[in-house]
Structure 1
Amino acid sequence: MSKQTYKVGFFFRRQFTMAAAEAPADIKNLFKRYSDDSGVMSVQNLHRFLIEIQKEKNASLDNAEAIINNHGGDSKQKGLQLDGFFNCLFSDVNPPLDPKLGIHHDMNAPLSHYYIYTGHNSYLTGNQLSSDCSDIPIIQALQRSVRVIELDIWPNSDKDDIEVLHGRTLTAPVALIKCLRSIKEHAFSASEYPVVITLEDHLTPDLQEKVAEMITQTFGDMLFSPSESLKELPSPESLRKRVMISTKPPKEYLQSKEVKGKR
């Protein structure tokens, strides 16, 4: 979870590449607001952005210049173009929060207003084709303050239990229950802000019920379960030490539904 960017954030969006063309409208509008007619954000304007938008009241011109230098700022005009600005939001401006250093940001806005430190294939010990799946990389990620853990869930060979693995590859599976228990034990070792478990679901309905039971029994009162449809998400502050689940219908289910619809 990283510092607030005041309506310039994502929730449950997996961002692997950060090309300028993919920058959301909010980012582009902010860049336009703080850049000149040639499409360059100067040291002075980046400094203003840090103070006015990021609320970094102690930010200096030297801080702004260092950010520009880190992201390939235009050497002649000494500033950032859109792609450099977009990239710096994920590193220099919004690094993962370290509770040990103290939290001085406003953490009471809806969760969707924040960048979230997100893992991908969090269970893999190595490459995506032949490595082992394990709870150890998950534990290590949580200890680094990662707040979103991704689990790909599949039926085991007997179709009576659930495993975590990178599907249709040679990766060796790990039991889902082992991963869930490790998440519970280590979820808040580095940060008390909420942990989101994203499930890439490839299960039959009966195994989905089994997963729901596993999750409920494992996390108990730690599990965030809204009593009604939410118009906006709760704040990180109100979700301290809570676990949230993000999932969607299996691709296999959606594909079979699409085929039926064409008949």
Structure 2
Amino acid sequence: KSRQGALNQVDFVNFFNLLTHRKDLFGIMKTFIKNGSEKTMENISMNRNELYSFLEQAENENIKNIDNPTELQRLIDTYELNNEFREKGLLSLDGFRNMLLSRSFDIIESVYSRQVYQDMTRPLCDYYISTSHNTYLFYSQVSGNSDPEAYNHVLLMGCRAVEFDCYDGDDGKPIVKHAFTLVKSCSFESIIRCIEPNLFKVSP
């Protein structure tokens, strides 16, 4: 706001909040709260009962025992940074985001995500993984089409890491394309549906 080419503390916090506001999580919250369609990203909040309804469907082993008001409030106290919301037993959109990004909600089992569980003493070449760059391209890097079949081709060759360059399509759905080139895009959905039968045929 000062137009001095730098952010002060308040500007930085506002900028950070702008970058980290999650529209996808906003949509999820609206489905679990009363009168959700009337809320905005700034004033939406979830009470303990609504939070419990969400947790019932989360099916996460780490939080399966959170089923009483005390435990629910503990979650809110832990992840809600707004004092006013926290004292009222409410979880804001930012608090909801903080909760879902926490270790308790990690989709990877904690035994694998919090410690080294594999042998890391071998030479680097022993950990080689076949990877693919611009997987959606069969031929030219600057023209032609993005092709879902290109993914099947590399997967059946044993590739374990593929690349998606995703952008918003005109209809709001994700597309895959090589940006700033003449390569034509294809839908992200078409790729996922195409490769599903071959994902683990060669590489488990």
**Quick check: TM above 0.5?**
no
Q: TM-score range by the shorter chain?
A: 0.3 to 0.5
Question: Which has the larger helix fraction?
Answer: 2
Question: Which has the larger strand fraction?
Answer: 1
- State the TM-score, normalized to the length of structure 1: 0.30
Greater Rg by CA? 2
